[in-house]
């Protein structure tokens, strides 16, 4: 996410609410579930995770909040459950961190480069930006809503762009109006994050190594381990990728490696995917196959198809 991001986070928060209380990012899913339910019970306009010191992990409860309209959970200290709305803006900020795993498709990432050695010493063109927003908050909100309203009044013209699963409403009311105005695609960082996800890159490395060893033939995990052990000590690519997947104190944990294979079966990376052929447990056989019809996850250019903002203005004025 880059450096010195609190200003942008504060600006977004100020647009929606006069006050905000940043929270620390939870270490595990249990903590995350408790924190999110407690916060959402207050129906806050913004929940912010400030000063991240680790990547934005894909806690199950956080992923659910980001894709579901409501969540259910047990109220802390009470023997009853509550159903709460997830209609809130979630922000996070930190230095050299970002979303990983399933969080990559749920986050719009902004990278900032201050271009100075000590970002805290920078002088801003608008040093009182947050105060300006708070003092004239209604104006900025009205401007944003006017863009959406103009797009609706123009007949909701659609621009050809990549679809974004689970975010159809956001794509229609936030993304499409901006594309209609000729702005860049706000979802482009999502597709860039997907293509650069470390987990996806690791899977791609494994699939290519497995295919180079066994071709189109099915093989068991023990076959790969025998190949690795016969070259133990050498800097071969197989050893590197197996250690990256299941290293435990310098030794490859076979159980962890087997679990990793099951979890990634059927997933596509670099035009390849892992297929479970037959058998179970240690006797399971795996094959890597090419998938020629795979679409790239990288951001693609968008083209406007029907009306433009200029056409709308002409129509509104009766020209």
Structure confidence by residue, pLDDT tens digits, 116-128: 888 778 888 888 8
pLDDT band per the 50, 70, 90 thresholds, residue 114: confident
Whole-structure pTM value:
0.67
Is the model's pLDDT at 265 over the cut of 80? yes
SS3 187: coil
Is the model's pLDDT at 180 over the cut of 50? yes
Residue in 147, 180, 154, 148 with CA at minimum distance from that of residue 313: 154
pLDDT band per the 50, 70, 90 thresholds, residue 3: very low
Percent of the chain at pLDDT above 90?
34
pLDDT band per the 50, 70, 90 thresholds, residue 6: low
- Per DSSP, what are the bridge partners of residue 71? 84
- Per DSSP, what are the bridge partners of residue 49? 23, 92
- Residue range 242-256: mean pLDDT, rounded: 88
pLDDT band per the 50, 70, 90 thresholds, residue 69: very high
pLDDT band per the 50, 70, 90 thresholds, residue 8: low
Q: Look at residue 307 in the predicted model and tell me its pLDDT.
A: 44
Which comes out higher in pLDDT, residue 288 or 115? 288
Cα gap 40→141, rounded to integer Å? 23
- Per DSSP, what are the bridge partners of residue 303? 160
186 in Cβ contact with 178 (< 8 Å): yes
- Check residue 233 and give left, alpha or beta (phi > 0: left; psi -120 to 50: alpha): left
């Amino acid at each position: 996410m880059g450096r010195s991001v609190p200003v942008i986070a504060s600006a977004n928060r100020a647009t929606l609410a006069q006050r905000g209380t940043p929270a620390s990012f939870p270490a595990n899913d249990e903590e995350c579930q408790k924190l999110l339910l407690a916060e959402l019970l207050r129906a806050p306009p913004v929940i912010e995770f400030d000063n991240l010191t680790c990547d934005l992990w894909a806690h199950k409860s956080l992923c659910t909040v980001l894709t579901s309209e409501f969540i259910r959970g047990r109220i802390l200290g009470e023997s009853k459950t509550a159903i709460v709305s997830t209609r809130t803006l979630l922000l996070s900020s930190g230095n050299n961190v970002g979303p990983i795993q399933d969080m990559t498709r749920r986050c719009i990432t902004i990278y900032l480069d201050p271009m100075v050695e000590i970002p805290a010493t920078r002088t801003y063109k608008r040093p009182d930006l947050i105060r300006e927003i708070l003092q004239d908050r209604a104006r900025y909100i009205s401007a944003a809503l006017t863009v959406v309203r103009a797009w609706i009044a123009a007949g909701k013209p659609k621009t050809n762009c990549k679809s974004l699963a689970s975010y159809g409403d956001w794509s229609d009311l936030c993304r499409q109006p901006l594309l209609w105005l000729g702005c860049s695609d706000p979802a482009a960082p999502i597709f860039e994050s997907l293509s650069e996800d470390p987990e996806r890159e690791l899977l791609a490395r494994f699939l290519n190594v497995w295919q180079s060893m066994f071709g189109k033939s099915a093989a068991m995990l023990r076959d790969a381990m025998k190949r690795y052990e016969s070259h133990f000590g050498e800097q071969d690519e197989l050893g590197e990728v197996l250690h990256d997947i299941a290293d435990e104190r310098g030794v490859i944990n076979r159980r962890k490696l087997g679990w990793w294979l099951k979890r990634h079966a059927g997933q596509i990376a670099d035009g390849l995917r892992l297929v479970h052929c037959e058998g179970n447990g240690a006797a399971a056989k795996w094959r890597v196959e090419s998938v020629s019809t795979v679409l790239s996850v990288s951001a693609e250019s968008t083209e406007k198809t029907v009306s433009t903002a200029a056409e709308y203005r002409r129509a509104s004025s009766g020209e």
